Amino acid sequence: MIHRLWEHRELTLEMARRHVRAMYVGSALGAFWTVVQPFCMLVVYTLVFGLIMRVRLGAEDVGPWFYGLKLCAALLPWQVFVDGFHRGTGALVDNAHLLRKSVFPGEILAVSLALSGAIQFALTMALYLVLQALLAGLGLVPFTLSAWVLAAPLVFVLQLLFTVGLSWVTGSLHAFFRDTAPLVSTLTTIWFFGSPIVYNPEYLDSWKSVPMWIRQLYAINPWYRFAELYQSTLMGFPPRPVTVLVVCIWTAGALVAGALVFDRMRKDMVDVI
Distance CA 11, CA 109 (A): 10
Torsion of CA 248, 6, 120, 25, to 10 degrees: -160
pLDDT tens profile 100-140: 776 778 888 899 989 888 888 888 888 888 888 887 777 77
pLDDT tens for 3-62 read 778 787 888 888 888 877 777 666 666 666 767 776 777 777 777 766 676 665 554 555
At residue 29, the pLDDT reads: 62
**Rounded Cα–Cα distance for residues 203 and 57 (Å):** 9
Structure-model confidence comparison of residues 100 and 167, the more confident one? 167
pLDDT at 166 over 90: yes
What confidence score (pLDDT) does residue 129 get?
85
* 141 vs 206 pLDDT, higher one: 141
Span 203-209, average pLDDT: 62
* 252: region left, alpha or beta (phi > 0 left; psi from -120 to 50 alpha): alpha
Q: What is the pLDDT of residue 59?
A: 46
Q: What is the pLDDT of residues 239-250, one digit of tens each?
A: 999 999 999 999
3-state SS string for the chain: CHHHHHHCHHHHHHHHHHHHHHHHCCCCCCCHHHHHHHHHHHHHHHHHHHHHCCCCCCCCCCCHHHHHHHHHHHHHHHHHHHHHHHHHHHHHHHCHHHHCCCCCCCCHHHHHHHHHHHHHHHHHHHHHHHHHHHHHHCCCCCCCCCHHHHHHHHHHHHHHHHHHHHHHHHHHHHHHCCCHHHHHHHHHHHHHHCCCCCCCCCHHHHCCCCCHHHHHHHHCCHHHHHHHHHHHHHCCCCCCHHHHHHHHHHHHHHHHHHHHHHHHHHHHHHHHC
Residues 6+ apart with CB under 8 A from 211: none
Q: Is the pTM of this model over 0.95?
A: no
The stretch 252-269 carries a mean pLDDT of 89
Over residues 193-211, mean pLDDT: 71
Residue pLDDT, tens place only, 61-79: 556 677 778 888 888 899 8
pLDDT > 70? residue 272: yes
**Each residue's pLDDT tens digit, 168-190:** 999 999 989 889 999 999 999 99
Q: What is the pLDDT of residue 53?
A: 65
Q: What is the pLDDT of residues 74-98, one digit of tens each?
A: 888 998 999 999 999 998 888 888 7
Model pLDDT, residue 78: 92
pLDDT(258) > 80: yes
